[in-house]
Homo-oligomer: A and B are copies of this chain.
Amino acid sequence: MTGMTTDVPAQELSPTPRSTIRRGSERARADRAELWAVLDAGLVCHLSTVVDGAPLVLPTGYGRDGDTLYLHGSTGARSLRAAASGMEVCVAVTLLDGVVYARSVFHHSMNYRSAVIHGTAVRIDDPDAKMHGLRVLTEHLAPGSWDHTRLPNAKEFAATAVLALDLSEAAVKVRSGPPGDDPADEATDLVWAGVLPIRQVWGEPQSAAAHAVPAHVTARAATAPDR
Binding site for B on A (CB under 8 A): 1-8, 18, 22-23, 43-44, 46-61, 72-74, 76-80, 88-92, 94, 96, 98-99, 101-106, 108, 110, 112, 114, 116, 118, 134, 137-138, 141-142, 145-146, 148-153, 156, 160, 178-179, 185, 189-214, 217, 220-221, 225
Contacts and interface: CB of A to CB of B under 8 A. Distances in A.
A15 to B, nearest CB: 16
Nearest to A186: B209
Nearest to A81: B7
Give the interface SS of chain A, mostly helix, strand, loop or mixed. Answer: mixed
A86 to B, nearest CB: 12
Contacts of A204: 197
B194 A208 contact: yes
Contacts of A105: 134, 138, 145-146, 149-152, 156
Contacts of A206: 98, 178, 194-197
A195 B208 contact: yes
26 contacts: A1-B141, A3-B61, A3-B73, A5-B60, A5-B61, A18-B56, A22-B76, A23-B74, A44-B110, A48-B56, A55-B55, A55-B57, A55-B88, A57-B116, A58-B92, A96-B200, A105-B134, A105-B156, A108-B145, A189-B209, A192-B214, A194-B208, A194-B217, A197-B203, A197-B204, A197-B206
Given A73-B3, A145-B108, A192-B211, A54 B88 contact: yes
B209 A1 contact: no
B134 A1 contact: yes
Nearest to A24: B74
Given A88-B54, A146-B105, A4 B194 contact: no
Contacts of A112: 44, 59
Contacts of A221: 196
A203 B198 contact: yes
B192 A212 contact: yes
